[in-house]
């Protein structure tokens, strides 16, 4: 009797500790730390903030040494990124890959826990065939460089948008787009051989924006709904996140890569937006992110991957006030620059308060003018250029944003036709115009937080050609 009572007491004590530990620490919850902003707190303050939460992984879009150093000895896993513009050099020159690792990884490891390098962002769906063909060689060269420096435990992969699928409904019928199959097969063979993940950006927010019915909103926010039946498997999906992740699982399985792990590199919901945007609100953002975290913590998994929570990086740690585009682009942050919560979704550890706000106040610039979703495309013979008097910080943010969105910025890399003059204004002008020309030539794609304007004067010079043309 006493023995049974003792066993029961020990069981419940261990169970309590387990539940308490899960509530304080979830290895599957990460967050994106974007830097397209001019009002962010110092990295040291951010490191303290993260340690007060149950977030155990941080994804950077580059390899900011100040942030990587600040996260040293915290135990927080770090994902760093190589830009799309680095891919040609990484692919063609193994020494460039070694130098990249020497500069961005070796000085910080193992004190800073770098776990993954993402090479490029949404490259395969950029429709830049040359960049697509260079992607896997770039990844392989980085992998080889890591191995040569005894850093082979750091995985290497790339990040995909959901557009990599030809179809996603129902989830069991999902297939990758045939235009990307040759590159994907090569990439997945690498993922499978090295144990690196297939990283994806599923956003139920965008699914709702394209189908703004009340029942779709409930399905996307993990709220009570009738569900959606996959008639091929007789599985009823009760939320969009599971359906999107299982669509990727089905596509991977159909190609014979059942063992390749899926990682959600980005997902989130904006808490505000422009007047013509459907979906952004504090209520919706809190419901999506809060219910997603509860879903992950339940460890129920998805119907095709039960009993395991997919590693998921929330978007985002802070708002990025210098991002161009509609207002929602600047309103995904879970925390404010003063380190307080935008809204509470239960990320703080038990008994923790957010760190004290920095003594120096930060200010947020005014939001850009509201773009109209129905505005016509601009005419031909126009180029997108910075306005006069724009700060170097804003120009650098514009440059980072444009080159991080899949355009080919190789012309402004060392040795490129537009590298000289080697100034922020020259490089930003080239990148901003290329983004505008390739993103549909809509007025809002030459907004850049009201720091850009359209000009009829062609900025091309010598052998540096700035694309421009009629729609």
| The pLDDT of residue 410 | 86
- How much is the pLDDT for 396? 84
- Could you identify the residue written with the tokens 């190789």? 410
Apex CA 321: angle with CA 411 and CA 453, to 5°? 55
CB atoms within 10 A of CB 353: 9
Q: Which residues are catalytic, by number?
A: 122, 266
Task: Kindly state the tokens that stand for 378.
Answer: 């601009």
- 334 neighbors 342 (Cβ within 8 angstroms): yes
Question: Dihedral through CA 292, CA 216, CA 318, CA 57, nearest 10?
Answer: 30
Q: According to the model, what pLDDT value does residue 352 have?
A: 58
8 A C-beta contact, residue 241 and residue 292 = yes
Phi and psi torsions of 198, nearest 5° = -95, 110
Length of the chain in residues, anyone? 471
Please report the pLDDT score of residue 365 as a whole number.
26
**Residue 80: strand pairing partners:** 117
Q: In the numeric block, which tokens belong to residue 85?
A: 């513009």
CA distances from 440 to 59, 446, 465, 469 (A): 29, 10, 19, 11
Structural domains of the chain, with CATH? 26-335 (3.20.20.80), 383-455 (no CATH)
Gap between the Cα atoms of 145 and 158, Å rounded: 17
Q: What is the pLDDT of residue 408?
A: 83
Instruction: Tell how strand 113-121 and strand 77-82 pair up.
Output: parallel
Query: Six-digit token pair at 332?
Result: 């995904």
Please give the Cα distance from 207 to 171 (Å, whole number): 14
According to the model, what pLDDT value does residue 345 have? 93
Rg (CA), the chain: 23
User: The tokens of 2 are what?
Assistant: 């006493």
* Residue (of 341, 169, 310, 296) closest to 240 by Cα position: 169
Pairwise CA distance, residues 209 & 350, whole Å: 35
With a cut of 50, list the residues of the chain below it in pLDDT.
Answer: 1-25, 356-379, 470-471
- Cα separation, 347 vs 31, in Å, equals 11
Q: What is the pLDDT of residues 182-233, one digit of tens each?
A: 999 999 999 999 999 999 999 999 999 999 999 999 999 999 889 999 999 9
pLDDT tens-digit series, residues 137-156:
999 999 999 999 999 999 99
Over the stretch 56-94, which tens digit does the pLDDT of each residue have? 999 999 999 999 999 999 999 999 999 999 999 999 999
**Residue among 397, 294, 272, 293 at smallest CA distance from 342:** 272
Q: In whole angstroms, what separates CA 43 from the centre of its chain?
A: 19
């Amino acid at each position: 009797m006493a023995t049974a009572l003792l066993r029961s007491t020990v069981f419940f004590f261990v169970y309590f500790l387990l539940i308490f530990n899960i509530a304080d620490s979830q290895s599957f919850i990460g967050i994106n730390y974007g830097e397209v902003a001019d009002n962010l707190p110092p990295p040291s303050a951010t490191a303290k903030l993260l340690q007060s939460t149950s977030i155990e992984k941080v994804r950077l879009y580059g390899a900011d040494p100040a942030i990587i150093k600040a996260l040293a000895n915290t135990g927080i896993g770090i994902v760093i990124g190589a830009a799309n513009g680095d891919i040609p050099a990484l692919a063609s020159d193994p020494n460039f890959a070694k130098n990249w690792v020497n500069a961005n990884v070796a000085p910080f490891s193992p004190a800073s826990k770098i776990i993954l390098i993402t090479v490029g962002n949404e490259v395969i769906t950029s429709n830049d065939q040359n960049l697509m063909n260079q992607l896997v060689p770039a990844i392989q060269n980085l992998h080889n460089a890591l191995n040569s420096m005894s850093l082979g435990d750091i995985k290497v992969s790339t990040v995909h948008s959901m557009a990599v699928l030809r179809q996603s409904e129902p989830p069991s019928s999902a297939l990758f787009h045939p235009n990307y199959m040759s590159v994907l097969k090569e990439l997945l063979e690498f993922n499978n051989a090295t144990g690196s993940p297939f990283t994806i950006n599923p956003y139920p927010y965008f699914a709702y924006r394209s189908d703004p019915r009340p029942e779709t909103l409930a399905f996307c926010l993990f709220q009570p709904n009738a569900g959606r039946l996959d008639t091929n498997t007789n599985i009823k999906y009760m939320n969009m996140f599971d359906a999107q992740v299982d669509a990727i699982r089905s596509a991977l399985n159909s190609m014979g890569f059942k063992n390749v792990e899926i990682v959600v590199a980005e997902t989130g919901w904006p808490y505000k937006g422009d007047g013509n945007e459907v979906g952004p609100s504090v209520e919706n953002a809190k419901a999506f992110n809060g219910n997603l975290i509860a879903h992950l913590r339940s460890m129920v998994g998805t119907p095709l991957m039960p009993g395991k929570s997919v590693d998921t990086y929330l978007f985002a740690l802070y708002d990025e006030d210098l991002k161009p585009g509609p207002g929602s682009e600047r309103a995904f942050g879970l925390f404010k620059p003063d380190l307080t919560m935008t809204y509470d979704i239960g990320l703080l550890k038990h008994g923790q308060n957010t760190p004290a706000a920095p003594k120096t106040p930060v200010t947020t610039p005014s939001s850009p003018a509201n773009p109209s979703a129905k505005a016509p495309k601009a005419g031909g013979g126009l180029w997108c250029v910075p306005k006069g008097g724009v700060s170097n910080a804003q120009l650098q943010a514009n440059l980072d944003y444009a080159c991080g969105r899949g355009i080919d910025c190789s012309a402004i890399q060392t040795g490129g036709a537009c590298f000289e003059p080697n100034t922020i204004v020259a490089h930003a002008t080239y990148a901003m115009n290329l983004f505008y020309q390739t993103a549909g030539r809509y007025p809002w794609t030459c907004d850049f937080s009201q720091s850009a304007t359209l000009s009829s004067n062609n900025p091309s010079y010598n052998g540096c050609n700035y694309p421009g043309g009629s729609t």
